[in-house]
Amino acid sequence: MINLSLNKKVIIFGFIFTFFSSFGQSFFLGLFNAPIRNELGITHGQFGTIYASATICSSLLLIWLGKKIDDYRILNYSFFVITLLFFSSLAFSFINSIYFLAFGIFLMRLSGQGLMSHASTTTISRFFEKSRGKALSTVWFGLSTAEFILPVLVTYFFVIYSWRTVWQGIAILIILFLPFVILNTIKSINLYSREKDNTSNLKKVKIKSWTRRDVIKDYRFYILSLNMLAMPWMATGVFVYQSFIADSKMWDVYTIPKAFMVYSITSILTLFSSGYLVDKFTSRRLILLMNIPLLLSMVVLFYNQHEIYAYIFLGLVGISNGFGNILGSSTWAEIYGVKYIGSIKALTTSFMVFATAFGTAVFGLLIDKGFTIENIAFICVVYIIASLTLLIIFRKTLKPIKIPN
């Protein structure tokens, strides 16, 4: 890594951190749903309530902890995040009660899904400007790689090891590997480091940098957020309750883990294409397309029973995921500037984490109330159509405020 350019080192850092954020993501934690429920003797709804409550608490703390990335060097901030992820993984292996389950989920959602992805995408969004879309697409490829590999790998490990041993192995990997990564990639990065750009300063267009307080007062932020949050809450519900979906559709236990490979492939393809498209056409235009594949996926889930549709369903979800991962970072920097992007991203990431809690709770409560997966898919369709309609109505207002040179 020593001989690589600084641009490439920053991308490697982002890729690896995004990959390791998967340990706190719902698709990964959902793999442990059944063994944990069976061991603790709790229902889908109880697990969902615990998961949602712990996630909400982590999202609230994330607003404060995430803002600190604007105050400290990314090297120091990353060391803190790694340490927290290590202890979180270790704690998860000792879960023996519903209280410890809540604590373990809280730590994993905060450190993994929250701070690991926040450190990665905020650093990339701040460091890159001209090639921000392509850089983000490469970095989010880390999560897609994890989504492709880990579900099948963990399912295989369950045959050999206990779920507790798996988590202990994860903790060891984190503490041995990640410090080496950051010392060899971002050691020289500070808050004002930027990618090399040969563009003349006269040709560059400066935009207003909004503070988080200003953003909260902007109505566009909420319209965008409604659309950004569709994927997190719906996909989380699907990931956490994948065993319920498989049972409802009478699919084989390995169908959804195998279908995750299609999800990863479509997500990866969309990641790279959307990164190019963002740099060419802007995030503001692409966001109108982001949730259309997700809408179609819920229609597929509503109407079809055969196992082949599991692959089509998750393939469509993967397309929206690929768009969402890029647009969820680039849009805020594009409209609100990068000076305070850490605090803004902390807010949007906490919203995203909250949305995953919402999805888990809603899915779990609806399942316990006797709703079928088809009923839940219909609710998702209504939400997507409503939020997309708002976005279309206000699409012409989604412009940054330019500052004359």
Provide CB contacts within 8 A for 377, sequence distance 6+. 298, 299, 301, 302
Residue 345, exposed/middle/buried by CB under 10 A (0-12, 13-18, 19+)?
buried
Number of helices (H) and strands (E), helices first, in the chain? 19, 2
- Local confidence pLDDT in tens for the 405 residues of the chain: 456 788 889 999 999 999 999 999 988 998 898 899 999 999 877 887 898 889 889 988 998 998 898 888 899 999 999 999 999 999 999 999 999 999 999 999 999 988 999 999 889 988 887 788 888 888 888 988 898 889 889 988 988 999 999 999 999 999 999 999 999 988 888 666 666 665 545 455 677 888 899 999 999 999 999 999 999 889 988 887 888 888 888 888 788 888 888 988 898 889 888 888 888 888 888 999 999 999 999 999 998 888 899 999 999 999 998 899 889 888 988 899 878 888 898 888 888 878 877 888 888 889 889 999 999 999 999 999 999 999 999 988 888 877 765
Domains annotated for the chain, with CATH where assigned, are 6-190+206-396 (1.20.1250.20)
In angstroms, rounded to a whole number, what is the distance separating the alpha carbons of residues 341 and 163? Answer: 38
In angstroms, rounded to a whole number, what is the distance separating the alpha carbons of residues 338 and 128? Answer: 10
CB count, 10 Å around CB of 295? 17
In angstroms, rounded to a whole number, what is the distance separating the alpha carbons of residues 163 and 383? Answer: 36
In angstroms, rounded to a whole number, what is the distance separating the alpha carbons of residues 267 and 143? Answer: 10
Per-residue tokens: 32: 């442990």
Q: Which of 367, 381, 365, 401 is CA-nearest to residue 49?
A: 365
